[in-house]
A and B are shown apart, each in its own frame.
Chain A
Amino acid sequence: MDSKLVERLKKIVGAEHVFDKYEDRYCYTYDASFITVGKNEVPELIVYPGNKEEVAAVLMLANEHKIPIIPRGAGSNVSGGTISRNDAIVMVLTRMNKIINIDRKNMIAELEPGVITADFQTQVEKLGLFYPPDPASKAFSTMGGNVAECAGGPRGAKYGVTRDYILGLEVVLANGQILNVGARTMKSVAGYDLTRLFVGSEGTLCIITKIIVKLLPLPEAKKTMLAIFDDLYKASETVAQVFMAGIIPTTLELLDNIYIKSIEDYVKIGLPVDAEAVLLIEVDGDAAVLDKQIGIISKICKDQGAREVKVAQNEKEAEDLWVARRSAFAAVSRVRPTIIGEDCTVPRDKIPEVVKKVREISAKYDVIIAVLGHAGDGNLHATILTDERDHEEMARVEKAIEEIFIATLEAKGTLTGEHGVGRAKGKYLHLEVGKEGIDLMKALKRTMDPNNILNPGQMLGE
């Protein structure tokens, strides 16, 4: 990159927040996805702006020189959304990490994009408030990254996903303009809903510099239980039954035998390694009603053939189960080195059918596919355990994934529930949104970012 330009960037964000050494830049060629690009796509420069003005100034310069900008939070996305390219500047937003205010009267909060999700949750919970979206990566993901991916989490079954909590945003557009969208009120119909457009835009439309979220009162209590099944199909049929009984559990997670075994191997909390599936179920709310709800769910599970139902007796037992669940993704990486976590999502009642299909596909292509679903919201998380160094196997993996996509769409589901399109699913997007959908998205992108500098190549593949 032109050294004058580097100097100007250093002036904008401060020299100590610019990294230009090759070894430092190299470390932005990967994120948590299975995609790594290596030495051919090492970005030109890394900048860490400290406020919206700096973000705007960097974007103006980049726009003028048509230099791609790759926004980045904690780099924990699993869709390749922050993978670098060799002509780009990576803009990391982690320095902007202040919680600006938590407004108890209006139950809203304003914060910068670099705030770590779990830190924010801890702060609001101290005040008796609640920010529900809880990606398993919450201990390290940033709120900006959560908004840009519209992250979800186990609690999605009852509480929805990030988008359901975003009232408004402050964003910087590709040309450096600073824009406020949305409102501080629970309702607002002033114009197109640009907030929703930006949530989940994967860094392709704007840089998010401030987030206004809505909060809930912190539920008084929760109860966690585990239902153990000898039959994966029966376990998956149970999911819809629970909802039909009029109970919306906070979370309802389905783990198959591969997950059970690898998690137990790792955390050793006494999961039943011989079970075909377990359902991890949590209900929350008024303490008085929880036992009744757990009772009803236990009965449904038993009627569906669960061999055992265990209710966590205290917070520690419940937390153990959640620690186990949160370590799932990494625990299976002990089985094979490369983990591809798919996140196809289907209507709840289609879970048994698609789970069965995934099993067939796994056998057909002889690849290990584990299932760990946020089953409560239909998010299946078929997980392919493979080895990226084995090209022959990777070819089979690709075919298997394509068939899972087709099965998902046939079940009227969606290709990605929460991980985002990124680089990983760009070429399949048309299957779901159609040519018309792609054309409209491209037109929007061109209007808002005519020089195509914001995360080019992501999502729409150009």
Chain B
Amino acid sequence: MQWEELEKEAIRCIKCGACQTVCPIFKELEAESTVARGKVNLIKAVIRGDVEPNENFSERMSWCLACKACVENCPSGVKVDQLVIGARQKLVEDKGLPFLKRMIFRIGLRNRRLFDFGLGMGSVFQNLLFRPAANGQGMLPRLPMGLDKRRVLTPLAAKNFTSRCSEINTTLPEEKTVAFFTGCMINYVYPEIGDAVLKLLKNNGSSVIVPKNQHCCGTPAYINGDLSTAKELAKATVDTFCDLEVDKIITACGSCGLALRNEYFEILSDELGYKEKVERIAEKTMDIAEYLAQKGLQGELSQVNKEVTYHESCHLGRGLKVRKQPRDLMKSVPGVNLQEMKDPGRCCGAAGSFSLSHYDLSMKINKYKTDDIVNTGAQVLVTGCAACMMHIKDGLNQGDNSQIKVMHTAELLAEAYKKDK
């Protein structure tokens, strides 16, 4: 790709400055170069030859959560996230990835079995390296390992989800058959969300296929500009899922869903023979909440007495426009009381690997979210994205609010069903 290819999109920015209202990064860093208008104009400047694509430029391109707040708010509809990702791709092409990301994306992510093994081993060794945090909410690093020592992480699962559940899970009566794309966070960190998804689907008349050889959707690599890794992962996912005889492909993570439904068109645009397959996948992909909301929760629902508040993950809300469905579903469960927080769509600051590379900044952004959560007085924070869950847990913990439980929408809904079907 060439810088010039970004020009067509970049020139559509009329520099009105509306993005200043919504960019969480700009709110912290205050310089014009950190808001969407600034980043787009820096990209234009590189194209024009006014700015070198150097370290400083690269740092400014790294200051983006890909939260799409600016995109949604932009009167001209400039796809700022795509521009920033495009710039990152160009930087990776020219200068390569930083060491840590190279290790993760190129060596870890690309090789599913090595990845499984690494994360599996990780779960054994992590007790040596981490100590449990308060109220059973995750763990703290014992040693500085490139991770911030204050940081509360959720431990890796002893056994990942796809290897501990069966590949075919039938239900009776069977109305539909669906495939479940778990995504990495559910597969390796929060397998209990996977259990909840299965339970929900089965209780709602869907048999579920969980392909064993599924892998990362590719989003982390794509967002960081590592297009070649993203392509490999996208192709693997498409190949695994496109020929399954299922009615739908269910995701339970906004970023995975967005990848399968939208971003593969971009990622695989120049891959021969993939256009039709990508279309097929995109058409079938649905978020779990979106899928269940079509008919509403079926069967007998038991009482779940909880005061909850809901965080709209960026990729689920602004990305897939799934906003109303999770709320409607929760409200349909007897006993659940949904208390809206001030700004449910504001990014929690996690943004995947952004929280690894810019921990302090991502925690400052997280603080608004945890304050808004605490102000609702809710006992449980519900969201549709496991990465947000981890980051919000961390923030609640550090703010001495570990009594507030963090759950995936699917987990809360699954509590309404007594039996696994």
Chain A residues engaging chain B, CB cutoff 8 angstroms: 17, 19, 21-24, 26-28, 30-33, 36, 38-39, 46, 48, 74-76, 92, 94-95, 116, 137, 139-140, 266, 327, 329-331, 333-334, 337, 339
Complex: A190 Cα to B214 Cα, angstroms: 79
Given contact pairs A24-B31, A38-B50, A333-B76, A137 touches B16 in the complex (Cβ within 8 A):
yes
Q: Are A27 and B33 in contact (CB under 8 A)?
A: yes
Chain B nearest Cβ from A92, distance in angstroms: 8
Residues of B contacting A23 with CB < 8 Å?
33, 42, 51, 56-57, 60
Query: Would you give the shortest CB distance from B172 to chain A, in whole angstroms?
Result: 44
Could you list which residues of chain B lie within 8 angstroms of chain A, going by C-beta atoms?
11-12, 14-18, 20-21, 30-33, 37-38, 41-42, 45, 48, 50-51, 56-57, 60, 74-77
Q: How far is the CB of A90 from chain B (nearest CB, A)?
A: 9
Looking at the complex, which one of A27, A32, A38, A139 makes contact with B14 (CB distance below 8 Å)?
A32
Report how far A92 CA is from B35 CA in the complex, Å. Answer: 15
Flag if A330 contacts B76 (CB, 8 Å).
Answer: yes
How far is A23 from B57 in the complex, measured between Cα atoms in Å? 7
B45: chain A residues within 8 A (beta carbon): 26, 38-39
B56 near A19 with CB under 8 A, answer no
Task: Tell me, in angstroms, the Cα distance from A38 to B41 when the chains sit together.
Answer: 10
Q: Given that A27-B31, A27-B42, A337-B12 are known contacts, is A76 also in contact with B48, CB under 8 Å in the complex? A: no
Among B16, B48, B56, B76, the residue within 8 A (CB) of A38 is B48
Q: Which 10 residue pairs spanning A and B have beta carbons closest together?
A: A330-B75, A27-B32, A39-B50, A27-B33, A27-B38, A76-B17, A23-B56, A333-B14, A24-B33, A327-B75
**Residue among A24, A31, A92, A337 with the highest chain B CB neighbour number at 10 A:** A24
Cβ contacts under 8 Å, B76 to chain A: 330-331, 333-334
A61 to B51, CA, bound (A): 30
Alpha-carbon gap, A28 to B17, bound state (A) = 12
Q: A140-B20, A330-B14 are in contact. List 8 more A-B contacts (CB 8 A).
A: A21-B56, A26-B42, A27-B38, A38-B50, A76-B16, A140-B21, A333-B75, A334-B12
Q: Are B33 and A26 in contact (CB under 8 A)?
A: yes
Q: For A331, what are the chain B residues with a Cβ–Cβ distance below 8 Å?
A: 75-76
Q: In the complex, are the beta carbons of B42 and A266 less than 8 A apart?
A: no
Q: Is the Cβ of A46 less than 8 Å from the Cβ of B31? A: yes
- Nearest residue (CB) in B for A24 is B33
CB <8 Å contact, B11 and A337: yes
A74 and B42 CA atoms in complex are apart in Å by 18
In the assembled complex, the CB of B16 is this many whole angstroms from the nearest CB of chain A, namely: 5
Q: With A23-B56, A23-B57, A27-B31 as known contacts, state yes or no: A32 contacts B15, CB within 8 Å.
A: yes
In angstroms, Cα B15 to Cα A329, docked, is 11
Q: Among B21, B33, B60, B75, which residue has the most Cβ atoms of chain A within 10 A?
A: B75
Which residue of chain A has the shortest Cβ distance to B30 in the bound complex? A48
Chain A residues in 8 Å Cβ range of B37: 27
A residues within 8 A CB of B75?
266, 327, 329-331, 333
Closest to A17 in B: B30
* Residue of A whose beta carbon sits closest to that of B74: A330
- On whether A30 and B41 interact (CB within 8 A), knowing A21-B56, A76-B17, A140-B21, the answer reads yes
Q: Which residues of A contact B30 (CB under 8 A)?
A: 17, 48, 92, 94-95
Please give me the residue from chain A that is nearest to B16 by CB atom: A32
Tell me the bound Cα distance from A430 to B21 in angstroms. 37
Q: How far is the CA of A32 from the CA of B50 in the complex (A)?
A: 19
Which B residues lie within 8 Å of A39 (CB)?
A: 45, 50-51
Q: How far is the CB of A285 from chain B (nearest CB, A)?
A: 30
A139 touching B18, Cβ below 8 Å: yes
CB of B77 within 8 A of CB of A266, answer yes
B17, B21, B37, B56 pick with most chain A CB within 10 angstroms: B17
CB distance from A22 to the nearest CB of B (A): 7
22 A-B contact pairs sorted by A residue (CB < 8 Å): A23-B33, A23-B51, A24-B31, A26-B45, A27-B37, A30-B15, A32-B16, A46-B31, A74-B20, A75-B17, A139-B18, A140-B17, A140-B18, A140-B20, A140-B21, A266-B77, A327-B75, A329-B75, A330-B14, A330-B16, A330-B74, A333-B75
- Report the separation of the CA atoms of residues A46 and B37 in the bound assembly, to the nearest whole angstrom: 17
- Could you say which residues of chain A place their CB within 8 Å of the CB of B57? 23
Known: A266-B75, A330-B76, A334-B76. A27 touches B20 (CB 8 A): no
Nearest A residue to B50 via CB reads A39
In the docked arrangement, what's the CA distance between A22 and B11, Å? 22
Query: Using Cβ atoms and an 8 Å threshold, which residues of chain A touch B18?
Result: 137, 139-140, 330
Judge whether B60 and A329 touch: CB under 8 Å: no
- Chain A residues with Cβ under 8 A from B20's Cβ? 74, 140
Complex Cα spacing A39 to B44, Å: 12
Report chain B residues within 8 Å CB of A24: 31-33
Evaluate contact between B51 and A26: CB separation under 8 angstroms.
Answer: yes
Are the CB atoms of A22 and B12 closer together than 8 Å? no
* Distance A92 CA – B30 CA, assembled complex (angstroms): 10
Most chain B beta-carbon neighbours within 10 Å: one of A33, A76, A94? A76
- Taking CB atoms, residues of chain A closer than 8 Å to B41 are 26-27, 30
Q: Which residues of A contact B21 (CB under 8 A)?
A: 116, 139-140
Whether B16 pairs with A22 at a CB distance below 8 angstroms is no
B49 smallest CB distance to A (angstroms): 8
State how many angstroms separate the Cβ of B324 from the closest Cβ of chain A.
15
Bound Cα distance from A36 to B38, whole angstroms: 13
What's the Cα separation between A29 and B143 when bound, in Å? 46
| A317 to B: closest C-beta gap in Å | 20
Whether A28 contacts B32 by the Cβ 8 Å rule is yes
Residues of A within 8 A of B15 (CB): 30-33, 36
- A395 and B301 alpha carbons, distance in the complex (Å): 71
> What's the nearest-Cβ distance from chain B to residue A118, in Å?
8
- Shortest CB–CB separation between residue A418 and chain B, in angstroms? 16
Nearest-neighbour CB distance to chain B for A164, whole angstroms, equals 25
B31 touches A19 (CB 8 A): yes
